[in-house]
Chain A
Amino acid sequence: MLQYLIRRVVTLAITLIGIMVVTFFISLVIPADPLSSIAGPQAPQETVDRLRKLYGFDQPIYIQFGRYANRLAHGDLGTSFQTGRPVLEDIAKYFPATFELATIALFFSIIVGIPLGVLSAVYRNSPIDHFSRVLSLIGVSMPVFWLGLVFLLIFYFKLGWFPEPGRLDIMLIEPERLTGMLLVDSLIALDWEVFFDALKHMFLPAFVLGLYGLAGIARIVRSSMLDVLSQEYIKTARIKGAREFIVLTRHALRNALIPAVTIIGLTYGGLLEGSVLTETIFSWPGLGRYLGTAFLTLDLNAVVGGTMLVALTFCLVNLVVDLLYAFLDPKITLARS
């Protein structure tokens, strides 16, 4: 187990180095000059030249790369042109909001998606199956910005069930920032008012994001449940006299979840990148919006830093998925995989 983890961490480091090299060269071949966007279109040539010198863009490529690699190796992601702050600080500021939203959204897709998938397999072609099919269709085919706007219109503007966009009511004071996740920080501070307000603010964006994950999870659980339910060992469980609930959970679902774990992992990885559109609509100060702006303004340090972070989270999610696999499927042993 330990050996396996060490091997995975080494693989992870190699992956990150690869990403570092690739992003560096991509930044070189972008057909636009980042300096013009920093200095502004009307800036005089001498300002641009000064900036070029300041950021080291006048040096030969191998020197630029050496400096860049050296910086990254020391955990310095550089300064964002956009905010003027170190990229690492920006990420620490924006990522927790995305992480919190993504986790709640994933939680929602799992607790609704799995039972929905199970029920629509067990009661195939019944109203619950049709309902689940329509919900999944909405989840995958409706653009999130459209869904987000419609939900805001109905549930905030018309019905007033949920609060305005943002993370917290403007009248409330944020608790002391420890993790950057409002739900966690307010729990630590035992500030229930903030906790419940933050939860309410999270509901609509998490629902919109979660609907997408839910669609995938419900579909894969349904199809793998259908497959498992026709297996001989399910008949064995019934022959033994097991109650139907036990047959469906202990005997069927445990097997059906194995393929679902991959989809859940991919969904989470995708959610953790942050969604530009959802975060914009719900005024969510998250990574998606930060990176979106960074790409548009050619804020290269922020782009590289964000890309590394996204890659890192994907690798970590993958690692968790693999560990879960080994836990769920006795045929997979970590030592040999």
Chain B
Amino acid sequence: MLLKDTPVTTDKLLSVQDLRVHFHTLRGIVHALEGVSFHLNRQETLGLAGETGCGKSVTARSVLRLIDPPGRIVSGRIIFEDRDILTLDDTAVRAIRGGEISMIMQEPKMSLNPVIRVGDQVAEALLIHDTSLNRSSARTQAEEMLTQMGIPEAHRTSRRYPHELSGGMAQRIMIAMMLVTRPKLLIADEPTSALDVTIQAQILALMDKLVQDIRTSVLMITHDLGVMAETCDRVAVMYAGNIVEMGAVRSVLKDPQHPYTQGLLKTVPDKANPDHPLYAIKGNVPSLLQPQNHCRFSDRCEYAMARCSREIPPVYQMTDDHEAACFLHDGQSISSGGKQVDLMNP
């Protein structure tokens, strides 16, 4: 696996600060995000990892301000270039959605409208953001985009309906639809996890190439740490509504500084040693019904100290581009401890 060696400019494109999102459910208030902060530079790919339910999709949808009731963005700032998305009016937010920030979702076949020809769905993205464009040139541009996504017979395929396409083909259409407007940021929420493993790499490669061509930044959400090692410049690890560790991909994956990240890396099956028993982090994800008042990982953590169940750990800066929210760093750094697969040099 190769690390991307494109020079990364450190010009900030997106900066999320202390984001809090709550869901008002019948069981009570679900504190889904409890102060999430991260930033994304131009032309950079930031990976977002974490167990199911930790708040990755909620983070992604917040960036587009698309949290449906009963969810509510309670506080925080989402600075995109020089605008705070949370304070813009609806028209301005709609201009950003699909025009400057796009998002690909997990289920490609469910994400396409069943009664509209796929080519028209791609063309619609263009027409929404460029009212001077006419229908037929939008269609032509849409077909060009399909060709770039490696879709054979783009003209014929663009006249098909979603049910006539395979999952992989549908996801290519979705990617084309979301990139056809040349957005500055693409959010990819587990773009390949619903697909057959044999085509996952192919789709990711096509997406990566297109992203490079149009110089789009990517927020890449994935369960697959291998994919992350391959495609991301920086990674953030989430646990129960917090980002617990963030930094350059090499540094986080080779030298994880938060016990949760260490555990997560140990769960990656060792291909070289298939008989090795699979590791699982003990315990369960905590309920999010209580507002956070301590480290949410503390009751599963083998290093837990008394203060971990009393205070919220602050973010400790290890190096310029590596930080972790764990009291173990209140003084010195911890060693990764235990055996884990080296994702950077397998």
Contact = CB atoms under 8 A, between A and B. Distances in A.
B107 to A, nearest CB: 6
A231 interface: yes
A38 B116 CA distance: 61
Nearest to A331: B163
Interface stretch (B89-97, B227-235, B280-288): B89-97
A66 interface: no
Main SS of the interface on chain A? helix
Contact of B124 (A231, A235, A242): A242
A239 B95 contact: no
Interface in A323-337: 328-331
B247 interface: no
B316 interface: no
A240 B98 contact: yes
Contacts of A251: 113, 116
Nearest to A230: B68
Contacts of B107: 232
A85 interface: no
Contact of B66 (A232, A235, A250, A328): A235
B222 interface: no
Given A231-B110, A233-B110, A251-B113, A240 B177 contact: yes
Contacts of A328: 115
A179 interface: no
B58 interface: no
Nearest to A229: B68
B129 interface: yes
B80 to A, nearest CB: 14
A240 B112 CA distance: 12
A268 to B, nearest CB: 23
B257 interface: no
Interface residues of B, number: 28
B114 interface: yes
B102 interface: yes
A235 B97 contact: no
Interface in A304-337: 328-331
A177 interface: no
Contacts of B66: 235, 238-239
A255 interface: yes
B21 interface: no
Contacts, number: 69
A242 B121 CA distance: 11
A241 interface: yes
Contact of B111 (A235, A241, A242, A254): A235
Which one of A238, A240, A330 has the greatest number of beta carbons of chain B within 10 Å? A240
A240 B142 CA distance: 14
A232 B170 CA distance: 13
B78 interface: no
B115 A241 contact: no
A233 B112 contact: yes
B98 A330 contact: no
A329 B98 contact: no
Contacts of A243: 94
A22 B103 CA distance: 61
Interface in B103-140: 103, 105, 107, 110-116, 124-125, 128-129
B99 interface: yes
Contacts of A255: 113-115
A236 B105 contact: yes
Interface in A218-245: 231-233, 235-243
B4 to A, nearest CB: 26
A232 B110 contact: yes
Interface in A63-101: none
B51 to A, nearest CB: 22
B124 A240 contact: yes
A236 B111 contact: yes
Contacts of B95: 241
A237 B177 CA distance: 11
B99 to A, nearest CB: 6
Contacts of B178: 239
A329 B112 contact: no
A203 to B, nearest CB: 35
A236 B97 contact: no
B324 interface: no
B163 A330 contact: yes
B98 A232 contact: no
B94 A241 contact: yes
Nearest to A330: B161
Contact of B128 (A232, A233, A240): A240
Contacts of B114: 233, 255, 329-331
B64 interface: yes
Contacts of A236: 105, 111-113, 174, 177
Contacts of A239: 64, 66, 97-98, 102-103, 178
A232 B97 contact: no
**Closest A-B pairs by Cβ, 5 of them:** A241-B98, A240-B98, A241-B97, A232-B110, A330-B161
Given A239-B66, A255-B114, 20 more contacts: A233-B112, A235-B105, A236-B105, A236-B112, A236-B174, A237-B113, A239-B97, A239-B103, A239-B178, A240-B128, A240-B177, A241-B96, A241-B97, A241-B98, A251-B116, A254-B116, A329-B115, A330-B115, A330-B163, A331-B161
